[in-house]
Structure 1
């Protein structure tokens, strides 16, 4: 398949089909596929549309998927399956593309519509999602015929996909999906920061489909029992993906909100915030704002996106929580006072969240690290001016890159002698000592919680530091 983003994993355009190799009984799936629906073609169209938006137009997956699913009015179950197809294809794109290329011999012309994405989605279904071959193949052919530029390749798609279904599993088993899917620059960075072996472990964990983490307002044991989840040592509850979020017990009661367990930790570094004035910069989607409000803080939530801030307010209403909101760029936000505590969850490359956002593999570039680190420095400088003497500044990112975490804080402390690091206080039953950096900051990795049952493992990669304004 062709990679129209010109990444290191680019490959020639699909050639014509030829005979494949021997078949293999090997199968595998991240989870069984749902029963077939009369909206099967629409479901695949949504998945392909989202893939095209990420891989060709280089736009984020979540927004693209939401628009595509809404435009086709997919019911909940079909929407979930469309998302599973697309995210599975993104997580395993390198190896799936390599399998496809073994059945192709001659490059295709430039104008081929969405053939690449149609084939990618179909192969993901055949080799990883246990979709019956007749369904995956016939619907892919129908998609080709409905695409004015791809319709002349419908017979090719049919021939190639039949061969994939017969012998593709064996070919897939021999491939290194990490090396084929991850960009070289990112693996190299992680090798430098964490060691080569750890880098591969982080990459492998980043390609696993994540469980669902919830932060509860109170009584995690009760809600874990009602939802069918486990209580993590950090206090979050975790369950396997269980259908529509809105249908889970406690949603309508405002008992919890969706938030990765790692993302819930930075607020904990602030300690007791009851009655304190707390500024939450870059606040959307609002999980940390909800934590602060639940803990009794007087929260001001700032975000430059009015739409995202509106959704934050809607979620607070569902939760029965209140906060002052302000639409403003965090770089220029001003107030007539300083705050007892400021939380800066800064924009970053988000490389710690690939397991939830596999599109990061295709949207981020090495130069983004430096550009975002420069922005983070400016944000930290401004956030520091909003903290009262004696107050706390908590800085965090969901990046695994040291320039956006450890190095950022060291540079900040060198240029701000009025601040000092407050090493995180650890309850070792809650936060393992291995999550604390030598300097005393917090660093989580996707490889953590590996001792949980399959399907419940992993954690977003996060960095957080607690800084006290001494004067």
Structure 2
């Protein structure tokens, strides 16, 4: 017998299994896990259930352990099912009877009675989650005193941020879409908005881009017809920012499908860039550039608000591998600058090794970031770099974690 809502729960179980056991991202796992789920609403539900289970995993496990005489193994299926069931009732406000009806069938042929007993016990106790999710011990060790504020910023999925093609029309679009702006050219809307149905999408008046992700390109200022290389450019948010600011943009990336999306975004917004499919570690430009924006590959731990899988699958090995790759890319990019040219290096990572640990390439001098270039409430570090964490601007909805440095070619 078909059980309404069961495919979405099966997909959610497959998603967290792919993250926790195989180290996949939610996006990587989504294709296979969601293949049998019909309808956008059910696919979104599966992602939401898995996301909340991963966001609150430490606290959900503590609840489960408090209601079992013998601790369930970390990789036991009943533990995963209980994580999903509790995430639904405690985070998504799904009625308990619906959670039971769609949760216990996930243990067909297994210990349904155990899962039912644990869930019922916790419901009778009035189980709740803390106001702030508990981070995995490995994250707390790496982030130190920043861990508390970061965790506070991860309690809720993020709002929807838009970058405007014309910053001069910020107030107009704020009124038309009912959003708030934290800096000219930016608009923030409540999460859940259907992006493609919003006014201004078809005519390319804006694109989706987290506030923190928009800051690196802003630090290059107005282009005035000068040349800029956007390294690792896809899917195109920074490319469009730079083109809208008057730069002549070369957008390079080694991912063909993501570059197709970049071209679609350029076509929708009416902006122009030279698009290059190439590996930045093998490619050589014909001419040097007035500016380069290197938004380098990274562990992406700064995106944990919308991708809570990074809390559980990123460790020291991945961080070290990415830091080595970033250093190689920085060295190559520095050689492609005109004298007096500007290099902006950015990563959406919370890891010091990928940010503060990256040394200035030879021949480049720091160009400190100033407070006047940033949204109110965000200040540069003492060394003149930019470090954002998810807990910043919490009253306004927070932002992703980024690290940004800026240098000038001697």
Tell me the TM-score normalized by structure 1. Answer: 0.80
SS of the counterpart of 1:264?
helix
CA contact (8 A) 1:275 1:297 kept: yes
Inter-partner Cα distance in structure 2 for 1:295 and 1:257: 15
SS of the counterpart of 1:120?
helix
The corresponding residue for 2:364 is 419
Aligned length: 407
- The answer to whether residue 124 in structure 2 is matched with residue 159 in structure 1 is no
The corresponding residue for 2:392 is 448
Summarize deviations over 1:147-198 as a string: whole Å, max 9, x none.
xxxx22233333332223322515x45x9842xxx2323212222xxxx3x4
Match of 2:244 among 288, 294, 298: 294
CA pair 66-266 structure 1, distance change in 2 beyond 3 A: same
CA pair 274-74 structure 1, distance change in 2 beyond 3 A: farther
Inter-partner Cα distance in structure 2 for 1:283 and 1:108: 45
Summarize deviations over 1:238-288 as a string: whole Å, max 9, x none.
111124322222222212111110110111111111312211111122110
SS of the counterpart of 1:437?
coil
Question: How is 1:345-360 mapped onto 2 (pairs within 5 angstroms)?
Answer: 345-360=295-310
CA pair 234-187 structure 1, distance change in 2 beyond 3 A: farther
- The answer to whether residue 402 in structure 2 is matched with residue 462 in structure 1 is yes
The corresponding residue for 2:69 is 105
Inter-partner Cα distance in structure 2 for 1:233 and 1:439: 23
SS of the counterpart of 1:169?
coil
CA contact (8 A) 1:215 1:264 kept: yes
Inter-partner Cα distance in structure 2 for 1:230 and 1:425: 23
Root mean square deviation of aligned Cα: 2.4
Question: How is 1:46-445 mapped onto 2 (pairs within 5 angstroms)?
Answer: 46-69=11-34, 71-106=35-70, 114-145=77-108, 151-169=109-127, 172=129, 177-178=133-134, 182-191=135-144, 196=145, 198-218=146-166, 219-233=169-183, 235-408=185-358, 411-413=359-361, 416=362, 418-427=363-372, 430-432=374-376, 435-445=379-389
CA contact (8 A) 2:54 2:308 kept: yes
Summarize deviations over 1:368-415 as a string: whole Å, max 9, x none.
32222221111100001111122111111112222222231xx225xx
The corresponding residue for 2:8 is 43
Summarize deviations over 1:297-330 as a string: whole Å, max 9, x none.
2211111111221222222222222222222121
Q: What are structure 2's unaligned runs of at least 5 residues? A: none
CA contact (8 A) 1:207 1:358 kept: no
Report which stretch shifted further, 228-237 or 213-222. Answer: 228-237
CA pair 310-176 structure 1, distance change in 2 beyond 3 A: closer
CA contact (8 A) 1:80 1:243 kept: no
SS of the counterpart of 1:390?
strand
Summarize deviations over 1:179-222 as a string: whole Å, max 9, x none.
xxx2323212222xxxx3x4312222134321111111122222
CA pair 424-199 structure 1, distance change in 2 beyond 3 A: same
